[in-house]
Amino acid sequence: MDQIAANKKNVKLIIIVAALGYFVDIYDLILFSVIRIKSLKGLGVPDSDLLDVGTMLINSQMFGMLLGGILWGVLGDKKGRISVLFGSILLYSIANLANGFVTSVPAYAAIRFIAGIGLAGELGAGITLVTETMSKENRGYGTMIVAGVGLMGAVAAAIIGENFTWETSYIIGGVMGLLLLGMRVGLVESGMFKNQKSDGVSRGNIFMLFSDGKRFRKYLSCILIGIPLWFVVGVLVTFSPEFGKELNAVDPLSAGTGIMYCYIGIAIGDIVAGFMSQMWRSRKKVMLIFLLLTGVSIVVYLNAEGMTSQQFIWLTLFLGFSSGYWATFVTIASEQFGTNLRATVTTTVPNFVRGSLVLATLSFTTLKGSLGIINSALVVGFVSLIIALIALYQLKETFGKDLDYLEIS
């Protein structure tokens, strides 16, 4: 009985730490979108260059996340999930503090790159711990809680970013991260990870994902199903001031407000999607519904001619809810692979999805010259949706799958 009580306590602590870690992670990740214009003007960037410089900085952060996803994922399978939680939180907390003292765009870009590396590890390690410590019937609830609580970090970023200086906003994020490190004490490593350490199999070997055609197609499909969500957040909402001008919005649109309400919608959507997947005992059916709903929300948003600020709030809520399948998507990725590759996959997949924003923004900015800002967004958005739907079709259902197995090279 004491062992059962200890296991339940560890599961609860893992969920709490993973959820709060993701809260700070999302706070930092989204903060730049909220204070983009404020911070760049503070550094002397002219109005005509705000979009291009902002895109460059987002891409710097995303490139860091691509590299960090590989680094932390491999370390998670080789050294353990908890060590990755500690290292990633420490790195992005220090980077956040440093961001509060930058005085030039090059320094800003360099620190966002470093922050991106740090931000890449927390979610994958947390979700891997949750899926490996909870029962196969209930682990969807655990990942739902992590995402639902964590995504509210975007709301905190919007509120703090709108009411404090951009420098102070970054420092607050750094302090929150450092405080979170104290909660890591007492966490127990995943039993599945500890048990397979002595099996003599290759652990965290990312090349195994590419050496087998079937395994690679599965891995690629896990990445592609998440791309539309980051298009919605990284393009449609982040650049909402520019879309507002093109759509002749009655009031100037605030990216900070858009981010806040979009993430409230995503958090609600994640909870609904999580419950639906548990009730229907299917993750694929839920993903399909939310991907189709995302297509509807994109069309509605990009045809909202003359929208008011109140309509903008409702539209961003709708965009967020429709693309609120993040927890379901990450859970699917975690459940597709064996224990010796699970952290590598669960950490790299969401970061490659986030990194896909580089291609999305580059495609968007390239096409807007010939198609215009609205049509270019429609083209990029629907191409990403079609790719995601094809990828979802390729994946097998994973609800209730036993995760205590290994990938053999």
Give the integer Cα–Cα distance in Å for 118 and 312: 33
pLDDT attached to residue 291: 96
What burial class does residue 335 get, using C-beta atoms within 10 Å of its C-beta: 0-12 exposed, 13-18 middle, 19+ buried?
buried
Give the integer Cα–Cα distance in Å for 306 and 85: 45
Helices (H) and strands (E) in the chain, counts: 19, 0
pLDDT attached to residue 312: 93
- What CATH code would you report for 8-183+211-394? 1.20.1250.20
pLDDT attached to residue 147: 80
Under a CB-based contact definition with an 8 Å cutoff, are residues 180 and 298 in contact? no
Taking each helix axis from N to C end, the angle separating 50-78 and 339-371, rounded to the nearest 10 degrees, works out to 170
Sign of CA dihedral 395, 396, 397, 399: negative
> Which among 18, 17, 62, 9 has a CA at the least distance from the CA of 331?
18
- CB neighbourhood size of 182 (10 A): 7
What burial class does residue 198 get, using C-beta atoms within 10 Å of its C-beta: 0-12 exposed, 13-18 middle, 19+ buried?
exposed
pTM for this predicted structure: 0.81
pLDDT in 10s for each residue of the chain, 409 residues: 444 444 667 778 888 888 888 888 888 877 887 788 889 999 988 888 887 888 888 888 888 888 998 899 888 888 877 888 888 888 989 999 999 999 899 999 999 999 999 988 888 888 888 888 887 778 888 888 888 888 788 888 888 988 899 999 999 999 998 888 776 656 666 566 666 655 667 777 888 888 888 999 999 999 999 999 989 988 899 889 889 999 998 888 888 788 888 988 988 898 899 889 888 989 899 999 999 999 999 999 999 899 998 999 999 999 999 998 888 888 898 889 888 888 888 888 988 887 787 788 888 888 888 888 999 999 999 999 999 999 999 998 888 787 777 777 6
Under a CB-based contact definition with an 8 Å cutoff, are residues 232 and 339 in contact? no
Per domain, the residue ranges of the chain are 8-183+211-394
pLDDT attached to residue 192: 64
What is the phi-psi region of residue 44: left when phi exceeds 0, alpha when psi lies from -120 to 50, beta otherwise? left
Give the integer Cα–Cα distance in Å for 238 and 253: 10
pLDDT attached to residue 188: 62
pLDDT attached to residue 316: 95
Give the integer Cα–Cα distance in Å for 388 and 248: 31
pLDDT attached to residue 114: 93
Under a CB-based contact definition with an 8 Å cutoff, are residues 316 and 305 in contact? no
